Amino acid sequence: MDVASDDPFAPLIGVHEDFVDKLTELEATLDEMMATRETREGNEIILDEAVRFFAEELMPHLRLEDEAVLPTIEKAIGRYGTLVTVVMNEHEEIRRGVAKFDGAREDLRQDPNSWPAIQELNRHGIFLVQFLWDHFRKENTSLFPTARKVLSADAIRKITEQISLS
């Protein structure tokens, strides 16, 4: 997707693209663990990086969208029955999914060779990967284009300032 440099959502779209790369790496690691029925040292590194990524990159990104983007769009189109509600609900689902992944990761850390623990981590990890891919696509192809159409120049300027401060 070619995004104009003056697009206020370009930084968010760029972050989404970076996140997809990280999610692809997590998915490959989970697939390998399911195929081998074991956790190798390299897998441990990727899993720990995923926990760090969720806490230090994904959660602040969701918070930024919750605080800088969604309220401004909500003022223009409303909340209930709109994309604003859908995205807000998805952010909550992502937070729940991350908590479940973190718990499953901790269980696997306690018993790295436990097949049931590998399966549980895979279940939560694959859910997050697929859900996040869909979520980013929804924001990039529906939410942001809607915002570009309905927001005033002043509202766009406000969003741009808030994003640049993050």
Residue 111 per-residue DSSP state: S
Q: What is the CATH number of the domain that holds 140?
A: 1.20.120.520
Q: Which domain holds residue 39?
A: 10-165
Residue 19 per-residue DSSP state: H
Residue 65 lies in a domain: yes
What pLDDT is stored for residue 67 in this prediction?
95
Q: For 12-71, what is each residue's pLDDT tens digit? A: 999 999 999 999 999 999 999 999 999 999 999 999 999 999 999 999 999 999 999 999
Instruction: Tell me the two tokens of residue 118.
Output: 């590998």
Helix (H), strand (E) at residue 12: helix 10-36
Q: Please count the structural domains in the chain.
A: 1
Model-level pTM? 0.92
Q: For 105-161, what is each residue's pLDDT tens digit? A: 999 999 988 999 999 999 999 999 999 999 999 999 999 999 999 999 999 999 999
